[in-house]
Structures are given as C-alpha cells and as structure tokens.
Amino acid sequence: AVAEQLLKEELGYRVDLVQTDEVPAWDALSQGRVDAILEDWGHPDQEKLYVDEKKTIVRGGDLGVTGHIGWYVPKY
C-alpha cells in the first residue's frame, strides 16, 4: 500500500497491483509480466535460478528489516 501510494500520488505512475504466489512471482518478474516483487519470504532456490543463473532479475538490495514469524495471542 505504501509503494502504491508513493508511485501513484508522488511520482505519477499508473499502478496495477498483481496478487500472486511467491514462487510464480519470480517467473512473472523474469518475463516482465510484473515490475517488482515487494514481499518475498525467502526462496533462495528462485533467487539462485533467476539472479545468479539466468541473470534475468537484478537484486535490488536488502531492506534491512529482519522478519519474525510466530503466533501471538492475548493473555487470558
């Protein structure tokens, strides 16, 4: 939502959001069907294939954020 807002309102780009599963997103990016993957939860095999081997995707750099996946529930 933040990237969409910045691209549309601040930079004047047309934005079409595409929802796809993570692994197919790599292929879509490689073929130019999407312009960016803004969320990826770690697929080193896809990164190796498309960035290192096929060289059809360029690494944009780390965000510096380390995610944590877990369950959180209220204390009853």
Question: What pLDDT, on a 0 to 100 scale, did the predictor assign at position 27?
Answer: 96
User: d(Cα 8, Cα 15) in Å, to the nearest integer?
Assistant: 6
How remote is the C-alpha of 43 from its chain's centroid?
11
Q: Is the pLDDT of residue 13 over 80?
A: yes
Query: Where do we find the tokens 């999407």?
Result: 34
Strand, helix or coil for residue 25? helix
Listed by start position, the domains of the chain span 17-60
Predicted model pTM: 0.74
Give 37-51 pLDDT, tens digit per residue: 988 888 999 999 999
What does the pLDDT average to over 19-30?
A: 94
